Amino acid sequence: MSQPLPKINPDLDISTLAEKFRRDGKIRVSNVLSEDFANRVFRCLDQDVPWRLMYYNHQGKGPEVVGRLYPHQLESMDKSQQLALIERVHEEAKDNFHYLYNAYDVLDARRKGQEPGLFLQKFLDFMGSDELFEFIRKISDDQIFNRVDCHACRYLPGHFLKEHVDSSPFENRHMAYVFNFSEDWDADFGGLTHFLDDQHLVTDTFIPHFNTLTLFKVPVPHSVSAVSAFAPNPRYSITGWFTRYN
Protein backbone atom coordinates (compact mmCIF):
# COMPACT_ATOMS: atom_id res chain seq x y z
CA MET A 1 0.00 0.00 0.00
CA SER A 2 1.43 3.40 -0.97
CA GLN A 3 2.15 5.93 1.74
CA PRO A 4 0.04 9.14 1.83
CA LEU A 5 1.71 12.14 0.29
CA PRO A 6 3.16 14.66 2.80
CA LYS A 7 0.99 17.69 3.41
CA ILE A 8 3.93 19.82 4.59
CA ASN A 9 6.33 21.06 1.94
CA PRO A 10 9.32 18.64 2.14
CA ASP A 11 11.74 21.29 0.84
CA LEU A 12 11.55 23.52 3.93
CA ASP A 13 14.81 24.15 5.80
CA ILE A 14 13.78 23.13 9.31
CA SER A 15 17.06 24.04 11.01
CA THR A 16 16.97 27.61 9.65
CA LEU A 17 13.33 28.01 10.69
CA ALA A 18 14.09 26.69 14.18
CA GLU A 19 16.99 29.12 14.62
CA LYS A 20 14.81 32.07 13.64
CA PHE A 21 12.04 30.98 16.00
CA ARG A 22 14.50 30.65 18.90
CA ARG A 23 15.83 34.13 18.16
CA ASP A 24 12.55 35.97 17.59
CA GLY A 25 9.84 33.93 19.30
CA LYS A 26 7.84 34.04 16.08
CA ILE A 27 8.21 33.02 12.48
CA ARG A 28 6.54 33.21 9.08
CA VAL A 29 6.94 30.13 6.88
CA SER A 30 6.26 30.56 3.15
CA ASN A 31 4.98 27.71 0.96
CA VAL A 32 4.41 25.68 4.10
CA LEU A 33 1.90 23.17 2.69
CA SER A 34 2.04 21.07 -0.42
CA GLU A 35 0.46 22.98 -3.30
CA ASP A 36 -2.44 20.59 -3.92
CA PHE A 37 -3.39 20.47 -0.24
CA ALA A 38 -3.26 24.27 0.15
CA ASN A 39 -5.41 24.79 -2.94
CA ARG A 40 -7.99 22.27 -1.73
CA VAL A 41 -8.26 24.00 1.65
CA PHE A 42 -8.70 27.35 -0.10
CA ARG A 43 -11.56 26.03 -2.25
CA CYS A 44 -13.35 24.81 0.85
CA LEU A 45 -12.93 28.16 2.62
CA ASP A 46 -14.05 30.06 -0.46
CA GLN A 47 -17.03 27.93 -1.45
CA ASP A 48 -18.29 25.57 1.26
CA VAL A 49 -18.02 26.95 4.80
CA PRO A 50 -21.24 28.07 6.57
CA TRP A 51 -19.70 31.15 8.14
CA ARG A 52 -20.81 32.74 11.42
CA LEU A 53 -20.39 36.44 12.10
CA MET A 54 -18.34 36.94 15.28
CA TYR A 55 -18.07 40.11 17.35
CA TYR A 56 -17.30 41.12 20.92
CA ASN A 57 -20.50 41.59 22.90
CA HIS A 58 -19.78 44.20 25.57
CA GLN A 59 -23.24 43.69 27.04
CA GLY A 60 -22.71 39.97 27.58
CA LYS A 61 -21.28 38.05 30.53
CA GLY A 62 -19.30 34.81 30.54
CA PRO A 63 -19.63 32.96 27.20
CA GLU A 64 -22.09 35.59 26.00
CA VAL A 65 -19.27 38.11 25.49
CA VAL A 66 -18.69 36.26 22.22
CA GLY A 67 -21.39 37.47 19.88
CA ARG A 68 -22.36 34.95 17.18
CA LEU A 69 -24.77 35.25 14.30
CA TYR A 70 -25.39 32.05 12.33
CA PRO A 71 -26.20 32.01 8.61
CA HIS A 72 -29.96 31.71 9.17
CA GLN A 73 -29.86 34.64 11.61
CA LEU A 74 -27.95 36.81 9.16
CA GLU A 75 -30.39 35.90 6.40
CA SER A 76 -33.30 37.03 8.58
CA MET A 77 -31.73 40.50 8.98
CA ASP A 78 -32.24 43.12 6.32
CA LYS A 79 -29.37 45.26 5.07
CA SER A 80 -30.17 48.13 7.43
CA GLN A 81 -30.04 45.82 10.48
CA GLN A 82 -26.73 44.33 9.41
CA LEU A 83 -25.31 47.78 8.76
CA ALA A 84 -26.50 49.01 12.17
CA LEU A 85 -24.68 46.12 13.88
CA ILE A 86 -21.46 46.84 12.02
CA GLU A 87 -21.69 50.55 12.80
CA ARG A 88 -22.22 49.77 16.50
CA VAL A 89 -19.18 47.48 16.56
CA HIS A 90 -17.03 50.12 14.86
CA GLU A 91 -18.20 52.78 17.29
CA GLU A 92 -17.49 50.61 20.36
CA ALA A 93 -14.08 49.68 18.95
CA LYS A 94 -12.90 53.28 19.15
CA ASP A 95 -12.36 53.00 22.92
CA ASN A 96 -12.63 49.28 23.73
CA PHE A 97 -11.31 45.89 22.75
CA HIS A 98 -13.33 44.51 19.86
CA TYR A 99 -13.33 42.24 16.83
CA LEU A 100 -15.50 41.57 13.83
CA TYR A 101 -15.02 38.74 11.36
CA ASN A 102 -16.53 35.50 10.08
CA ALA A 103 -15.51 32.26 11.76
CA TYR A 104 -16.16 28.54 11.83
CA ASP A 105 -15.00 26.35 14.74
CA VAL A 106 -13.86 23.15 13.04
CA LEU A 107 -13.23 21.22 16.27
CA ASP A 108 -16.60 22.19 17.75
CA ALA A 109 -18.33 21.16 14.51
CA ARG A 110 -16.76 17.70 14.78
CA ARG A 111 -17.85 17.31 18.39
CA LYS A 112 -21.41 18.16 17.38
CA GLY A 113 -21.38 16.06 14.20
CA GLN A 114 -21.98 19.11 12.01
CA GLU A 115 -20.93 19.29 8.32
CA PRO A 116 -18.98 15.99 8.50
CA GLY A 117 -18.22 16.10 4.77
CA LEU A 118 -16.57 19.53 4.89
CA PHE A 119 -12.94 19.35 3.73
CA LEU A 120 -11.93 21.35 6.80
CA GLN A 121 -12.46 18.16 8.77
CA LYS A 122 -9.54 16.68 6.83
CA PHE A 123 -7.52 19.76 7.75
CA LEU A 124 -8.42 19.11 11.41
CA ASP A 125 -7.08 15.56 11.02
CA PHE A 126 -3.88 17.06 9.62
CA MET A 127 -3.60 19.46 12.59
CA GLY A 128 -3.66 16.51 14.99
CA SER A 129 -1.30 14.35 12.91
CA ASP A 130 2.20 13.18 13.80
CA GLU A 131 3.44 14.94 10.66
CA LEU A 132 2.26 18.36 11.84
CA PHE A 133 3.17 17.89 15.53
CA GLU A 134 6.69 16.75 14.62
CA PHE A 135 7.11 19.74 12.31
CA ILE A 136 5.99 22.25 14.96
CA ARG A 137 8.09 20.63 17.68
CA LYS A 138 11.22 20.76 15.52
CA ILE A 139 10.70 24.46 14.80
CA SER A 140 9.70 25.53 18.31
CA ASP A 141 11.69 23.04 20.42
CA ASP A 142 8.48 22.76 22.47
CA GLN A 143 7.86 19.15 23.50
CA ILE A 144 5.18 19.98 26.09
CA PHE A 145 2.07 20.78 24.06
CA ASN A 146 -0.21 17.85 23.29
CA ARG A 147 -3.37 19.44 21.91
CA VAL A 148 -4.40 21.85 19.15
CA ASP A 149 -7.69 23.49 18.18
CA CYS A 150 -8.79 24.78 14.80
CA HIS A 151 -10.82 27.82 13.72
CA ALA A 152 -11.42 28.97 10.15
CA CYS A 153 -11.66 32.74 9.66
CA ARG A 154 -12.85 35.02 6.88
CA TYR A 155 -12.21 38.77 7.03
CA LEU A 156 -14.32 40.93 4.72
CA PRO A 157 -13.98 44.71 4.24
CA GLY A 158 -14.32 46.41 7.63
CA HIS A 159 -13.45 43.27 9.60
CA PHE A 160 -10.65 43.50 12.18
CA LEU A 161 -9.22 42.17 15.46
CA LYS A 162 -7.86 44.67 17.98
CA GLU A 163 -4.76 44.20 20.10
CA HIS A 164 -4.77 41.19 22.42
CA VAL A 165 -2.33 38.59 23.80
CA ASP A 166 -4.15 35.21 23.44
CA SER A 167 -3.69 34.23 27.10
CA SER A 168 -6.60 32.25 28.54
CA PRO A 169 -7.61 31.30 32.10
CA PHE A 170 -9.16 28.10 30.73
CA GLU A 171 -6.21 26.47 28.95
CA ASN A 172 -2.42 26.52 28.85
CA ARG A 173 -1.68 28.04 25.44
CA HIS A 174 1.95 27.61 24.37
CA MET A 175 1.89 28.93 20.81
CA ALA A 176 -0.53 30.53 18.38
CA TYR A 177 -0.64 29.58 14.72
CA VAL A 178 -2.19 31.03 11.57
CA PHE A 179 -2.28 29.27 8.21
CA ASN A 180 -3.06 31.92 5.60
CA PHE A 181 -5.03 31.27 2.42
CA SER A 182 -5.48 34.80 1.02
CA GLU A 183 -4.96 34.90 -2.73
CA ASP A 184 -2.93 37.73 -4.32
CA TRP A 185 -2.84 39.76 -1.10
CA ASP A 186 -1.14 43.17 -0.94
CA ALA A 187 -0.28 45.16 2.17
CA ASP A 188 -2.64 47.90 0.92
CA PHE A 189 -5.57 45.53 1.41
CA GLY A 190 -5.17 45.56 5.21
CA GLY A 191 -5.73 42.40 7.24
CA LEU A 192 -2.11 42.62 8.42
CA THR A 193 -0.90 40.87 11.55
CA HIS A 194 0.87 43.51 13.66
CA PHE A 195 3.10 42.54 16.58
CA LEU A 196 3.42 45.18 19.30
CA ASP A 197 5.61 45.94 22.30
CA ASP A 198 4.59 46.95 25.83
CA GLN A 199 4.18 50.54 24.64
CA HIS A 200 1.68 49.41 21.96
CA LEU A 201 4.14 50.25 19.20
CA VAL A 202 4.35 47.99 16.14
CA THR A 203 7.57 45.97 16.09
CA ASP A 204 6.83 43.67 13.15
CA THR A 205 4.14 43.09 10.53
CA PHE A 206 3.23 39.94 8.60
CA ILE A 207 1.26 40.10 5.35
CA PRO A 208 -1.17 37.14 5.02
CA HIS A 209 0.23 35.75 1.78
CA PHE A 210 -1.24 32.54 0.42
CA ASN A 211 0.08 29.28 1.93
CA THR A 212 2.10 30.87 4.72
CA LEU A 213 2.23 29.82 8.36
CA THR A 214 2.60 32.34 11.17
CA LEU A 215 3.73 30.76 14.45
CA PHE A 216 4.46 32.69 17.64
CA LYS A 217 4.72 32.22 21.38
CA VAL A 218 1.92 33.14 23.78
CA PRO A 219 1.60 35.74 25.18
CA VAL A 220 2.66 38.45 22.77
CA PRO A 221 0.55 41.52 21.88
CA HIS A 222 -0.75 41.44 18.32
CA SER A 223 -3.66 42.58 16.18
CA VAL A 224 -5.20 42.18 12.73
CA SER A 225 -5.72 45.50 10.95
CA ALA A 226 -9.03 46.26 9.27
CA VAL A 227 -9.49 44.92 5.76
CA SER A 228 -9.86 47.79 3.31
CA ALA A 229 -12.99 48.56 1.32
CA PHE A 230 -11.14 47.87 -1.94
CA ALA A 231 -9.71 44.47 -1.03
CA PRO A 232 -10.67 42.29 -4.04
CA ASN A 233 -10.97 39.02 -2.10
CA PRO A 234 -11.68 37.87 1.45
CA ARG A 235 -8.81 37.28 3.85
CA TYR A 236 -8.94 33.56 4.68
CA SER A 237 -7.05 31.80 7.44
CA ILE A 238 -7.14 28.82 9.78
CA THR A 239 -5.94 29.63 13.26
CA GLY A 240 -5.74 28.38 16.83
CA TRP A 241 -3.35 27.41 19.61
CA PHE A 242 -1.05 24.57 20.59
CA THR A 243 -1.89 23.86 24.22
CA ARG A 244 -1.07 21.53 27.08
CA TYR A 245 -3.95 19.33 28.24
CA ASN A 246 -3.31 17.38 31.45
The domain spanning residue 31 has which CATH number? 2.60.120.620
Domain that holds residue 221: 14-48+104-244
Give the confidence band of 59 by pLDDT, cuts at 50, 70, 90: confident
Q: What is the reported pTM?
A: 0.95
> Is 160 a member of any domain?
yes
Residue 209 maps to a domain: yes
Residues 6+ positions from 90 with CB-CB distance below 8 Å: 100, 158
Average pLDDT (59-74) is 88
pLDDT at 12 over 90: yes
68 in any annotated domain: no
> Is 98 among the domain residues?
no
Per-residue pLDDT band for 1 (boundaries 50, 70, 90) equals: very low
Mean pLDDT is lowest, of 6-10, 33-37, 230-234, for 6-10
Total tally of structural domains belonging to the chain: 1
Shortest CA distance to 53 belongs to which of 39, 74, 34? 74
Average pLDDT over residues 151-176: 94
Q: Per the domain annotation, does 208 fall within a domain?
A: yes
Question: What mean pLDDT is predicted for residues 193-207?
Answer: 97
pLDDT surpasses 90 at 6 = no
Percent of the chain scored above 90 by pLDDT?
89
Residue 1 lies in a domain: no
Q: Is the pLDDT of residue 4 over 80?
A: no
182 found inside a domain? yes
What's the pLDDT tens digit per position in 76-124? Answer: 999 999 999 999 999 999 999 999 999 999 999 999 999 999 999 999 9
- Residue 85, in any domain of the structure: no
Say how far apart CA 192 and CA 188 lie, in whole Å: 9
Q: What own/partner pairs with CB < 8 Å and gap ≥ 24 does 119-125 have?
A: 119/40, 119/41, 119/43, 119/44, 119/48, 120/41, 120/44, 120/45, 120/49, 120/150, 120/152, 120/238, 123/41, 123/44, 123/150, 123/238, 124/150
